[in-house]
Amino acid sequence: MMSVQTAQDVKEFLDNNNIDVITLTGGEFFCNSEWADIFELLIPNRNYVRLITNGDWAAETAFGMKVVEILSGYNNLKVSISEDKWHNVKNVKNAVKLCKQAHINYNTGKYIDTEASIVPVGRADMLFSGMYSMFATYCSNPIKRYLFMIDEIGDIFKCPFGIWDFDNIKTYIEGGFAPRFKEVGQLFHKTFISNCYRCNMMYEFNPKRLNATNK
């Protein structure tokens, strides 16, 4: 669970490094009892925020109404409700209904989530399934080359699979992250890596922080 203090640190990191496009995901964020306080820190002042959820917050009417009341206050937010074979989808219809009523921007993953597109955020062991595991590298896509993940304690990982830990947000909480991350990323991409499976094996063989080993 991310703490409110860590969320405050993440906010400062985002603000001081001019990062204005983020995705909030988990696990399921609404399992965190302090989700509303964390959202209040992370969502404002961003250009675009995507919140990924399974929609189970809509199972109980009172809680569901509380959720949409808070989420409707953010006009930069899009709620992505998972609707696929990897999730329990029994509350998706209720979640969609509440989002519509509250005029919240939303979508479902029913038509876009496939084994090729699902990213097992923070779970490198799941790299062994799906298209990217054996036939490509996720970060070879120019759009995804400089994506990164921040986990619940503020550690930064080079890719959303949660491998190649880079540093902690506190190192860059006052700025300077982008040029250093790009520099290290360019060094990383000079190495030919055939697929995500091989990349994961390299990481397991030498699990050192990229920022500390590439200078």
Given this structure, which CATH class describes domain 4-210?
A: alpha beta
Q: How far, in Å, CA of 143 to CA of 165, rounded?
A: 20
Identify the H or E element spanning 165: strand 165-168
The Cβ-side half-sphere exposure at 176, using a 13 Å CA radius, reads: 9
Which residue ranges make up each domain of the chain?
4-210
List, for residues 32-56, the tens digit of each pLDDT value: 999 999 999 999 999 999 999 989 9
**Range with the largest mean pLDDT of 18-22, 87-91, 107-111, 116-120:** 18-22
Sheet holding 149-150, edge to edge: 149-150, 155-157, 165-168
Provide the b/e sequence for 184-214 (b: ≥16 CB within 10 Å).
Answer: bbeebeeeebebbbebbeebeeeeebbbeee
Global confidence as pTM: 0.85
Give the residue from 21, 12, 17, 11 showing the smallest Cα distance to 143: 21
Angle in degrees, 0-180, between the axes of helices 61-71 and 92-101, rounded to the nearest 10: 50
> Can you give the length of the chain in residues?
215
Residue 215 has pLDDT above 90, yes or no: no
The per-residue pLDDT for 130 is 55
